[in-house]
Structure 1
Amino acid sequence: MDYRWKRFRKWVKPLQNKQAYEQKRKALYTLLYLAQTGRIELYFGDESGFCLTPCVPYGWIKKGKHAPILSQKGARINVFGLLSTDNKLLTYQKGGSLNADFIIQCVDAFSASITKPTVIVLDNASLHTGGRWEIKKEEWEQKGLYIFFLPTYSPHLNRIERFWKQVKYYWLKAEDYLSIDALREALQTIFTGFENYFTLNFKELVVDENLILNFE
């Protein structure tokens, strides 16, 4: 039989609006180009949650031995993160559930530190939309901070998604899940040492004139 054992993967491409996707992708490439040429700062934002249910899929184990990982219910650490195109990382943690008010507070705090025109790339989650967001966007734009929304069903365009995956599947170790305090400490080590010890090598943008909007 012509079959192979393969992992199933989530596929959202059929749900995309093709025209809207291409327009947004082209605009995002323009923002990446402007960031690479030093004309703006560009950050990718998103939320992630961490608990004592491990995501560690692989590890070095002696032959004939097993390495069970205890899965526990308990507290959860929720994080809103901002990752720039040059690997600057900002994280904001919350013990309880995240809501729009908390994310707005995070963006407010971030807006006070910008020194040049800055864009935050976000998805269309309910945490990022609504009446308060529309009001705050006007305030932020007066400070030089702008929000760019990705096309729907396009998580692959958000660079910070790759960062969360690296944290959960590669950088956290089995022993980091022994307690919520151990997990919190491990996350803090990763977050604070990211630029020096845990860098991500994103593919360089190849500037194609067909993918750059006219911004002059």
Structure 2
Amino acid sequence: MTPFTLSQEEISSLKAAHKAAKKKREADRIKAVILLGTGWTIREVVEALLLDDETIRNYLNRYRCGGLKALLSDNLKGYGGKLSKSVIEQLDNHLNQNTYVTIQEIVSYVSKQFKVKYSISGMTDLLHRLNYTYKKPKLVPGKADAKAQEEFVKYYDELKKTKGANDHIYFMDGAHPQHNSVAAYGWIKKGTVKELKSNTGRKRVNINGAIKIEDMSPVVGYSNTINAQSTISLLKKIERKHPEAESIYTICDNARYYRSKKVTKYLEESKVKLVFLPAYSPNLNLIERLWKYFRKIVLYNKYYETFDEFKKACKSFFRRSKKYKEEISSLLTENFQIIGTNT
């Protein structure tokens, strides 16, 4: 890309226009030009504004060719005129069903399907008008059963109402953090490269854990592998914490060790009652959010020279879990998201 810089006068003018902008898309266009003109790369602007690089290049070209007026112009007409309302509805439905990587692909589709030619800038504006933004789809299990998930949520709501006063609800799952650094976004001085050391080892810490939803208190166990025996050890820990309880409802996925004969035999004389989630529904297991937060605190942008140091950091997180209680409580809200509804 040809080097692009803005004078101080141009920056001041653009900032004034940004302050006066009434529409988000206008503000985004101005921000893109200011950032590009003050040393940002197209990739950095794409990540900051959550737009695609084609759109950012288009904004820059418009500004270069016609200044602020061309940049903010909402010319929704293509070379052959704008689409009718009914055709726009058809296009909207099509885009809801099909995710295109570039605007050029959409321009080509419209040209072939509706015999109307759009410029890249015209199609970009139309997509913004239809409330589209450039982002990744969310990966979900291919066999997720939305109806089964909805039935579980109903069961869970009823369980909370009918359980005994001294009974408790836990969410249980295993995690296997690997001794290696995880590079994550962070604030780094522009124009510099911040290095993060990495490890070559593949050793893991195997954690079998559960969290009590009433007060966000975790119970964890560490073992060489997560199996029936380590699961029973964890369930015994949970039971010892609640001698007054008649039942301890423990919600978990369908891992083999949770359904093993040894665990089933143990449960015959235990207060613990396992509640199995529908298959392919990690979204319903609230402890998954705890694991995600745990990785953020322990793994992101961290380097541990030895495996012992890494394991110590993992254990420290749970020993000091009260320190993170406020953040954990905000994450583990019971706003269950049903997946597989739009596939």
What is the number of equivalent residue pairs in this alignment? 200
- Aligned-partner SS, 1:185: helix
Match runs of 1:3-42 below 5 Å: 5-12=134-141, 15-33=143-161, 38-42=165-169
Offset of residue 146 of structure 1: 1.1
Offset of residue 19 of structure 1: 4.2
Matched, 1:81 2:81: no
What CA distance in whole angstroms lies between the structure 1 residues aligned with 2:311 and 2:168? 29
What CA distance in whole angstroms lies between the structure 2 residues aligned with 1:17 and 1:7? 22
What CA distance in whole angstroms lies between the structure 1 residues aligned with 2:159 and 2:322? 22
Aligned to 2:36: none
What CA distance in whole angstroms lies between the structure 2 residues aligned with 1:157 and 1:5? 27
Q: Is the 8 A contact 1:52 1:178 kept in 2?
A: no
Offset of residue 47 of structure 1: 0.4
Offset of residue 56 of structure 1: 4.0
**1:19-73 Cα shifts (integer Å, max 9, x gaps):** 43333221122234457x9452111110001122233422222222223331421
Moved more, 81-90 or 26-35: 26-35
Match runs of 1:100-179 below 5 Å: 100-114=228-242, 115-116=244-245, 117-140=247-270, 144-179=271-306
Query: Judging changes above 3 Å, is the alpha-carbon distance between structure 1 residues 133 and 118 closer, same or farther for their aligned structure 2 residues?
Result: same
**1:144-193 Cα shifts (integer Å, max 9, x gaps):** 32111111111111111000011113454533433222222222221111
Matched, 1:46 2:176: no
**Aligned residue identity for 1:107:** L
TM-score by length of 2: 0.52
- Aligned-partner SS, 2:275: strand
Richer in helix (by share): 2
Moved more, 14-23 or 190-199: 14-23
Q: Is the 8 A contact 2:298 2:314 kept in 1?
A: no
What CA distance in whole angstroms lies between the structure 2 residues aligned with 1:63 and 1:33? 53
Q: Is the 8 A contact 1:100 1:128 kept in 2?
A: yes
**RMSD between superposed Cα atoms in Å:** 2.6
TM-score by length of 1: 0.79
What CA distance in whole angstroms lies between the structure 1 residues aligned with 2:313 and 2:319? 10
Moved over 4 A (4+): 2-5
Richer in strand (by share): 1
**1:101-147 Cα shifts (integer Å, max 9, x gaps):** 2212221332233221311111011121122222112111xxx3211
Q: Is the 8 A contact 1:89 1:195 kept in 2?
A: no
Moved more, 174-183 or 39-48: 174-183
**Aligned residue identity for 2:275:** F
Of the three residues 169, 173, 186, the one matched with 1:59 is 186
Higher Rg of the two aligned structures? 2
Matched, 1:196 2:323: yes
What CA distance in whole angstroms lies between the structure 1 residues aligned with 2:333 and 2:203? 36
Percent identity of equivalent pairs = 24
What CA distance in whole angstroms lies between the structure 1 residues aligned with 2:219 and 2:303? 21
Structure 2 residue runs without a partner (length 5+): 1-102, 107-123, 125-132, 336-343
**Aligned residue identity for 1:175:** K
- Bigger relative CO (Cα 8 Å, ≥ 6 apart): 1
